[in-house]
Structure 1
């Protein structure tokens, strides 16, 4: 029976291939940043609505979030669709491929949803690059009845149980006192010096950071003109670590560096979190194994589990989803030469023939993983029991 379902979903992906590739290219051509993905979200939602999915827009109080559901089965699948882009380099992380692959998996499963006892739901999640759309949607109940969740992310390599780093984005703001930089510099309190001292402290701290911890940052406001002592400055930093516990220790250490800048110069300072904290990915082992079988059957070549442990894929708010419910976030390889995610050359590759193939293979691999889960009595019971226990605990 599983073979029949897989043949049906393969036929569906082939039937919708032009529409899915067109969706990927259309999103790629009009990149939109966090919480402003109005056209992109509409493109995905409109396609699914036209194919019989019940679409709810603006969910969780987020204008560019949506859900699109089909079926009434007790086993609820959540296919995450990302569609935000990066400033200047556009879709250099390939979220156009992610959105199209999730939509393709949903369309492939639509006609077999009733037989599989499924509710197929695409969860349109804005602001992955910054803003934490999935974290906000988790907190606001969008995933409460979801039994398991999946998505597939383009990358230079194929990894099934991909690992990521926990991350927090912070801004530090220093306030000093302006003065004439030549006539009365002694009357000023230099906020640019405060940032310099903080950066030096962070640079020296790097030697002693724990394995897996890292810090990167930019100055976002350094002053106005050189003949005025800078009174207000700002910088933004990404703090990453192997897991949330290590991230918390790193954050405490970096906050002391920020304080050092203020103490040394006499400035005041404020530290502001830019996004919700992203947890590390903890992929569900059974779902990862099922996806690996599907990818191999499609002729793809995932890294071995041992090789995967050596790879990191940056950070993602899908990590929070994997800590809340059984979920996976595999990567799917595209031909991108020497380029990596977040480079302009990778953005170009995300609208190539290789990326188009990733859309279709990714959709099918997600669909086949779902079929395996839905038709395994043991896994079905496991997934449904977790949801029932969660609902009962909430009550």
Structure 2
């Protein structure tokens, strides 16, 4: 083995043998999840398939992990594991489906890639002795599509003690570093004064005019934005009846940009658009932000280099996506908390070119897709094993993360206000946003009806009432 070769090269054959041994069972689990699509926080069948299999072959599993009904944690650690000396690596599973079209994002494949990588790495660790030591966990992350499961897991302390996080996502082609944007979910509420629109409109203060002025301000701002900087806005409430001057209107706004620092700046400019609309019409505006916002993906290049090495050895061919092929995911929040990767893997259907479609759903349900998924599972398992077997590599990964994060996060990192760093989820808001109009991820999901309150929360609410 050359000095430049990854130390995990010695485990490649064992990883492939492990995945081959589990292949039929993993394929059956993929098909079960694909055949029973469940939306965010309702993925009970998927979780049962994954956890039952881990328990069946002897791994410790925690169900309802972090008091989240459809999360779980499977784990294995080497004898003599010492958290001060040995790393903990999390491989993440997703398994929620899209409304109406089912697994149009292929999370059935993410589930078996995560599970397969966990099993292969754990089985190698059992036989590796002093050559590789540490703790590997398979973390079930629900509700990526609509409910920010990883944001909630972070808020709940799921990643405390975890040093690195790995996952991959199905795609039309192999992609090493997809363009994942930060996204903020904001709202602006405008308050005016009602009046009869015919008898005395001069007595009113028109909140509809305010929100339309704010919308037009945003439209003018859009043409001055950098590539990858995006604002999406709708008017959620535009008034009650045409003959009543609207006293209340509401807008919902999504703000996207490549990094959290970019979103920081753009959020302030959007707030200015809202306040200008209110000031021009004599209304009052309240701008709010919920914690269910996703960071951009800060892919760790050192980790990706190992994934690429083993992926290419196994036939993966990484492509560069054309400009404008953007997306957002809650894995971004994990990547700014601990060193992480989130590459894309080809599903083996050259005729399918777009995710979140019925065509993609049908393709990820075909048997051939499971074979392509195992290429990614092998590369993830070997990336984990490089971390377990190479202390110098771990230092390089952490150094890259520590150096890049302050620039990527902007004020959130330098002022310590990133919500993933805070014990209580406190998030400092820029000028123009009211801190009283911020909800935690858990409370936001409860208010939306996507998440049930815990028994403790139910008891607390009953006491308050």
Of the candidates 120, 123, 126, which is equivalent to residue 108 of structure 1?
Answer: 120
1:75 corresponds to: 87
Structure 1 residues 384 and 132, CA gap change in structure 2 (3 angstroms): same
- Which 5+ residue runs of structure 1 have no aligned equivalent? 388-393
In the TM superposition, 1:80-159 aligns within 5 A as 80-114=92-126, 115=128, 116-159=132-175
Question: How does 1:174-185 map onto structure 2 within 5 Å?
Answer: 174-178=190-194
1:238/1:326 CA distance change after superposition, 3 Å: same
Q: Give the drift of 1:225.
A: 5.1
Write the mapping of 1:149-228 to structure 2, written as runs, cut at 5 A: 149-178=165-194, 188-224=204-240, 226=242, 228=244
Note closer, same or farther for the CA distance 1:160–1:117 as it changes in structure 2 (3 Å cut). same
Aligned to 1:360: 374
Q: Contact 1:169 / 1:274 at 8 angstroms: preserved in 2?
A: yes
Cα distance, 1:255 vs structure 2: 1.1
Q: TM-score, normalised by structure 2?
A: 0.73
Q: How many Å separate the matches in 2 of 1:81 and 1:156?
A: 19
1:117 Cα deviation after fit: 1.6
Q: How many residues end up aligned between the 2 structures?
A: 385
Corresponding position of 1:316: 329
**Structure 1's 147 and 247: CA in aligned 2 closer, same or farther, altered over 3 A?**
same
- Of the structure 1 ranges 90-99 and 151-160, higher mean CA displacement relative to structure 2 is found in 90-99
Alignment of 1:259-270 (within 5 A): 259-270=275-286
State the alpha-carbon separation in 2 of the partners of residues 199 and 322 from structure 1. 33
Q: Specify the alignment match of 2:307 in structure 1.
A: 291
Give, in whole Å, the separation in 2 of the partners of 1:129 and 1:149. Answer: 19
Equivalent-residue separation in structure 2 for 1:21 and 1:71 (angstroms): 26
Whether the 8 Å contact between 1:24 and 1:100 is mirrored in structure 2 is yes
Report whether the alignment pairs 1:370 with 2:384.
Answer: yes
Measured in 2, the distance between the counterparts of 1:103 and 1:153 equals 13
2 CA distance for matches of 1:68 and 1:202? 46
Tell me what 1:391 maps to.
none
Q: 1:377 to 1:211 in 2, by over 3 A?
A: same
Task: Label 1:336 to 1:256 Cα distance change in 2 as closer, same or farther (>3 A).
Answer: farther
The reply on whether 1:240 has 2:256 as its aligned counterpart is yes
Q: Is the 8 A contact 1:60 1:136 kept in 2?
A: no
Is residue 207–residue 247 contact of structure 2 (8 Å, CA) maintained in 1?
yes
Judging changes above 3 Å, is the alpha-carbon distance between structure 1 residues 188 and 136 closer, same or farther for their aligned structure 2 residues? same
1:6 pairs, out of 5, 12, 16, with 12
| Residues in 2 aligned to 1:181 and 1:350: alpha-carbon distance in whole angstroms | 55
Moved more, 159-168 or 341-350: 341-350
Q: CA deviation at 1:67?
A: 1.4
Task: Provide closer, same or farther for how the CA distance between residues 135 and 309 of structure 1 changes in structure 2, counting only shifts above 3 A.
Answer: farther
Q: Which residue is equivalent to 2:360?
A: 346
**Which has the higher mean CA deviation after the structures are superposed, 339-348 or 156-165?**
339-348
TM-score by length of 1: 0.85
Q: Deviations over 1:64-112 (max 9, x none)?
A: 3221112234332100112233334433322222122101111222322
Cα distance in structure 1, aligned partners of 2:398 and 2:189: 47
Per-residue deviation at 1:150? 0.5
Counterparts of 1:239 and 1:159, CA distance in 2: 25
Whole-angstrom CA distance in 2 between matches of 1:26 and 1:230: 50
Q: What CA distance in whole angstroms lies between the structure 2 residues aligned with 1:220 and 1:355?
A: 40
Indicate whether 1:33 and 2:39 are aligned. Answer: yes
SS of corresponding position for 1:250:
helix
Corresponding position: 1:325 with 2:331: no
